[in-house]
């Protein structure tokens, strides 16, 4: 198997970069299908309110037909009333559809704000690549899905209408009001069945889009290695940075260790230089510390300047891990450090 074959799952970095560009798994059909379904449910639920609102608009219009003198106040009042009645009819439905659209979009892709999708892309004007997109597997599957959707919805509509029309044998004998009620029920029943079918097909499309998206985002082993190397950094650059950091640390230690009172060791892994001045310090301070190679250099500098070295494995390990250079030791270490300093001061007196 070649390293260039896309067999690996996409990394978080790859998915994050694609998301920032607006490349996410989503189905536009799902939002439109659920919006249509919810829209007709709102119309059905608010039928009485809509009827009363339309009745008010009609009554208001007819009442103003007899108005002979139109002043500016009457015109403004009329416009305000029309706006109010129109808002009363449309706002609940439009507001509900807006909320549903936002919820469905959030469920599909979460919160995403990016300007990448609106940036001009001249590659989209390439006729050759555009023609290739028309004749690929993705376009063919989309065409098949559209044809299947058309056949399923058309079949549902024909079967429902055929079934309902068989019940309406005596349409001539019914009144206008009953005819209106029957046609309304027929229309609502048809729309609801078609909407539910659209939602089911859209869910199937969304599942397919997610599968297709993950498949398209797969990476080759080489791409995974290159990304990991990029994230970790170039080993050569990291080595140079580490070497520079060690040199800087050695320069600081060369000037700080000769002034230290004692160096606590572990005995070879850690070395911590401590200094205590009663006049200027509240507690002993770590003036230098290091592990392995730096610990060796600390011991060499301490030996050169005849700084006492005390082996205390536990204290050295604790000081190295908990106290930064230039900081005073914490209160919990006072006793242990005091014992070391007492020993060192005793050696100096001798």
Name beta bridge partners: 309. Answer: 263
d(CA 145, CA 150) in angstroms, rounded, equals 9
Express each pLDDT in 292-342 by its tens digit. Answer: 888 888 888 888 888 889 898 888 899 988 888 888 988 898 898 888 888
pLDDT at residue 119 in the model: 60
**Are 92 and 47 in contact, with CB atoms under 8 Å apart?**
no
pLDDT at residue 125 in the model: 57
Among candidates 333, 317, 332, which has minimal Cα distance to 264?
A: 317
pLDDT at residue 136 in the model: 66
Residue 316 backbone dihedrals phi, psi, to 5 degrees: -60, -45
The mean-pLDDT minimum among 204-213, 214-223, 291-300 falls in 214-223
Quick one: average pLDDT of 276-282? 86
Among candidates 260, 253, 271, 275, which has minimal Cα distance to 306?
A: 260
**Are 257 and 233 in contact, with CB atoms under 8 Å apart?**
no
Categorize the per-residue pLDDT at 130 as very low, low, confident or very high, splitting at 50, 70 and 90: low
Does 118 score more than 80 pLDDT? no
The mean-pLDDT minimum among 75-79, 141-145, 323-327 falls in 75-79
> pLDDT: is 265 or 18 the higher one?
265
Mean pLDDT of the chain: 78
d(CA 18, CA 23) in angstroms, rounded, equals 5
Does 10 score more than 80 pLDDT? no
Class for the domain spanning 236-349: alpha beta
Categorize the per-residue pLDDT at 190 as very low, low, confident or very high, splitting at 50, 70 and 90: confident
**Are 26 and 51 in contact, with CB atoms under 8 Å apart?**
no
Percent of the chain exceeding pLDDT 70 equals 80
* Residues 6 or more apart whose Cβ sits within 8 Å of residue 116: 20, 21, 22
pLDDT at residue 30 in the model: 82
State the CB neighbour count (10 A cutoff) for residue 47. 12
The mean-pLDDT minimum among 7-11, 114-118, 221-225, 290-294 falls in 114-118
Q: Which single residue is written with the structure tokens 């604790």?
A: 318
> pLDDT: is 166 or 119 the higher one?
166
Residue 167 backbone dihedrals phi, psi, to 5 degrees: -85, -15
Query: Environment class of residue 65 by beta-carbon count within 10 Å: exposed (0-12), middle (13-18) or buried (19+)?
Result: exposed
d(CA 219, CA 11) in angstroms, rounded, equals 8
d(CA 50, CA 40) in angstroms, rounded, equals 13
Does 131 score more than 60 pLDDT? no
User: Is this prediction's pTM over 0.95?
Assistant: no
* Residues 6 or more apart whose Cβ sits within 8 Å of residue 203: 30
pLDDT at residue 66 in the model: 62
pLDDT at residue 69 in the model: 63
pLDDT at residue 185 in the model: 79
d(CA 209, CA 174) in angstroms, rounded, equals 50
Q: Where are the domains of the chain?
A: 7-227, 236-349
Decide the pairing of beta strands 262-265 and 309-311.
Answer: parallel
Q: Supply the DSSP string of 245-309, one letter for each residue.
A: HHHHHHHHHHHHGGG-SEEEESSSSEEEEEE--TTT-SS-EEEEEEETHHHHHHHHHHHHTT--E
């Amino acid at each position: 198997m070649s390293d260039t074959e896309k067999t690996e799952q996409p990394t978080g970095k790859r998915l994050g970069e694609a998301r920032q560009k607006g490349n996410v798994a989503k189905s536009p059909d799902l939002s439109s299908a659920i919006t249509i379904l919810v829209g007709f449910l709102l119309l059905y639920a608010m039928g009485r309110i809509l009827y009363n609102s339309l009745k008010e608009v009609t009554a208001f219009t007819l009442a103003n037909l007899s108005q002979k003198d139109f002043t500016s106040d009457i015109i403004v009042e009329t416009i305000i009333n029309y706006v109010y009645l129109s808002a009363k009819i449309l706002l609940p439905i439009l507001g509900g559809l807006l909320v549903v659209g936002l919820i469905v979009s959030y469920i599909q892709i979460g919160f995403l704000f990016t300007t990448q999708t609106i940036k001009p892309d001249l590659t989209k004007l390439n006729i050759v690549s555009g023609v290739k997109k028309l004749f690929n597997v993705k376009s063919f599957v989309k065409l098949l899905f559209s044809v299947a959707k058309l056949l399923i919805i058309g079949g549902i509509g024909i079967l429902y209408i055929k079934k309902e029309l068989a019940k309406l044998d005596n349409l001539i004998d019914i009144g206008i009001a009953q005819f209106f009620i029957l046609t309304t029920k027929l229309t609502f029943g048809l729309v609801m069945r078609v909407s539910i079918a659209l939602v089911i097909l859209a869910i199937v499309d969304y599942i397919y889009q997610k599968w297709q998206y993950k498949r398209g985002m797969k990476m080759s082993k080489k791409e995974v290695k290159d990304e990991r190397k990029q994230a970790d950094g170039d080993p050569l650059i990291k080595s140079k940075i580490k070497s520079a950091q060690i040199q800087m640390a050695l320069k600081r230690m060369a000037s700080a260790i000769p002034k230290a009172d004692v160096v606590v060791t572990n005995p070879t892994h850690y070395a911590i230089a401590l200094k205590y001045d009663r006049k200027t310090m509240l507690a002993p301070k770590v003036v230098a510390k290091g592990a392995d190679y730096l610990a060796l250099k600390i011991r060499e500098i301490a030996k050169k300047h005849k700084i006492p070295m005390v082996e205390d494995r536990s204290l050295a390990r604790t000081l190295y891990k908990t106290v930064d250079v230039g900081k005073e030791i914490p209160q919990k270490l006072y006793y242990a450090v005091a014992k070391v300093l007492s020993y060192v001061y005793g050696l100096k007196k001798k």
